[in-house]
Structure 1
């Protein structure tokens, strides 16, 4: 499976092969297995420095990135757990600012897989246990942990006393898992998504959120109240707006003038604002205004409206700006469309369990061309799923070579798996 990635290191590859054989038993949901696995490892999740725990549909990875860069600008040592990886599994575990080494990764995976062999853990449970074990063994000032799927039953949701929890933007994604019928949960789709994401809330811990439609906001509020979390929702406890000069943030403690984040896209100001709000509403670390400004300017996050200015693929479209985005749901499509107000050439690859209209529809009135490519190692939609104007190409390279010389920007989008392949082919491995 593509999700387990490749490695040139034989020791890591051996453990990735073991991971590839794991699956989530049909119908099993809950945290019992991850708790049992962590118990055999002496519960490393209970020995972590202050944890920033982030869920959401879109923007949680970017929010984690802003948190990391701001805390590092303050001079703090930070561990970060993000997902999925784009090219190398190592990307999921960053220790003190650096990707985990092959030697340590291989040893950790072996240790966790051996410890839980009879528990039949999932890929995500092993990954989470290995991550927490790595973080517990290296001193740091903070940990940033991104939720994988949902929140309530995500393997990361075993952290009992985080410094702060955050929920980024909400939208429909992973419906087969997050909208499965369950008694006592909201029936309205976005409210159910909100209910699942808010499952990371903890008693007495700040739960910092964006502003949501009424039904979703109610689901978050009810969860926070039931758990006893201290809800800090945008529009009530804090707010932010953008201007030509930057990002204006305010809460009950005062106002801050900040630069717009370095990451492109109007939606990134919202993600940056959430990171600032999380920092302002936690009590574990002191973070200066200067570090916030420096971190927002310095932040980098691959495959999120990333401009590819050099490399073998970029060389195939001279005279065009080449962009890459891993977005694959309607909210991501809307964000992408806001970034490209004029004609754009779209090269797209989407997994068969994703909606082909999610990215194409928001761009429909400005598509200079639409080329559909396969995703190596994954089952993807063919060109017929994208309408009569879509054409097929055998590879991203073939698709780019066929683009004319009108100078319109070129966007490769539709899947983080495709984005990882593009970065590999273009020689831009995330580091």
Structure 2
């Protein structure tokens, strides 16, 4: 959500920032709706003031025994009273129109976000590790995985396309990956572990920007709840409708959750294997900070995700997304792309974004600086929110399988995961 006052102050800059994302100008429409709202407020205030003045005059007329004038004045007051609900309704209608339009307008990109239309315009920032070399031809995970427990056929038979049954060694390895990444964040990086609901109300999805624009990308239940597409939704909504003290900030939350996405619009993309599923696990990081801390927090969060890849010894690169490739709520995003030798290419495994105060405005999440009077409502400020994958568990499983594959179809367990695997060093193919 955007600050209408900021749009009014510099509509040209607002539209220019939207143009960087390939979005049509919106400032004039939003300002016109705001003018309608302000006019309705002014009319209602004027009517109320006139009603108050007339009420005083009625008393004076009655005191002077001027019943005819008092009666005329009372009729005028009654007419104003009848008109006021319509004026209030006009204000509410204009405000609803502003909110409906603003809810579909994405966040503005940060100044250092490069222009561009799609992933081809993203910029590589850093690269870590050299791609593994093999004495044999590296295979993709969907060729290696079935013998290890990635049962694609049974998953489809049970639930349909883009579902996988994971069993045996692969299931144990996937569990180890999730626990390892969550433990790193909680034990080493100061995140608070959370076990959130995976079904949420529509308001929570609106707060983090999934609704109303991207309803088709998520699953909805018959009782009007939504299956979370990412742990970002419940974690960020922890501060919904709250006023925090700055002493409480930063807040850092981490969760390992099931996530659900309809993958609308992805027909034909990654139909094979475990890359793009309707149901998947992800370790999510969310930070709630003051505005002056959000830039440093973005770097910190990204480094937390990178640290997990480095501990797993998986080669990766950090990409700064261009304006046209960023998510709806993001002002700036770093994608981490892991090397997959079977595909001989880098693939996204984490996305870390700063959303500035965009989500906070939608959730009405604020804080009060210590120097401000506690009794002054106007002293509150909107927090800044950040979110990132730390990492996508299924994609990490894919990366481990492909990078640690052996000629006989077995997979070496990375050293940092062995304590979570009871000391198991290798997963061997079965059958």
The TM-score normalised by the length of structure 1 is 0.23
The TM-score normalised by the length of structure 2 is 0.23
Write 1 or 2 for the structure with the bigger share of helix. Answer: 2
